[in-house]
Structure 1
Amino acid sequence: MKKWAIALLAAATLAPSALAAKDLAIGDAAPAWTLPSDRGGTVSLKGFQGKKVVVMAFYPKDETPGCTKEMQAFSADAAKFTAAGAAVFGISRDSLDSHKKFKLSCALAIPLLSDMEGKVATNYQSVMPVVGMFKRKTYVIDKKGIIRDVIDGMPDNKALLATIAKIAKP
């Protein structure tokens, strides 16, 4: 019985990784997405193709210290990102109501998108195993829909802006 339980546990542990999609890498086409925005309506990656660079900043949870710091940093540099030809979006599993409260309490200037089911975050390998919270992970997608940078952890806005400057040119 003990051997059977160990085999079952090993299979359950290894099966998800065997079935997981190929990791996204720089140079890959970005998976399509459409998500509801705290500003009303929905936002789609496709709507920016040929127009702007897209910065997708996945973060774990509204109103938490690290996430507040990250979203406030993006908000402080919002005008710089816009001037560089980029659209920046914060994305978490939180509801639109939670996003609206978070924006008000922290004076955030960037749109927050809600991925409550985690489908987009899963496609972008941005979900923590077991707990299901989103990882702090940022993708930079060029005007053609190609991933040009991936940052795990807290992004450096100066470095992001330098990357955008290189790829945003027509």
Structure 2
Amino acid sequence: MKKSNDFVLSFFGLKEGKHIFEYKIDKQFFEFFGFDEFLIADFKVTLEFIKKSTLLELYFSSQGKATVACDVTNEPFELPIEGALSLVVKFGEEFNNDNEEVLILPHGEHQLDLSQYIYEMIVLAVPQKKLHPGIEDGTLQSDILKKLEELSPDKNKEIKDTDPRWDDLKKLLIDKKK
């Protein structure tokens, strides 16, 4: 996918004040960044853009859902994702994006590519561990889940074969406490 101009905001002709922009984000947007964890993606991003005489304020918010694979069973499920990001754009001698919350654009710039900020906002809102809701409530019927339960050690069963060396060490601890 080529870089799209759909996410380039030209603020040169805008009046000072508040402006609202909306963007539809799908799986193809994430493929551009090489992010392939979303099987299906459907997001709505709202940008509240405030233009002032010396700086720009951007407030992003996203709502949507993505179909992802469960980290335990690899079963696909729909994950609701919401994110928010705020950014202040100032003007200076040269481009500087070292700070997460402040972007410095060179004097004379009249547009800003928002795609990286939208991408980061959504991807950082994805939970670290993605669990199918059927695992938590016990409704998911999966071959992988059955096999995991089969292979997991039974907590109620006592281990019959213990190493006698450990038993001797445990006795030393008990004797020391007395």
Give 1 or 2: higher helix fraction: 1
The higher radius of gyration belongs to 2
TM-score, normalising length from structure 1?
0.22
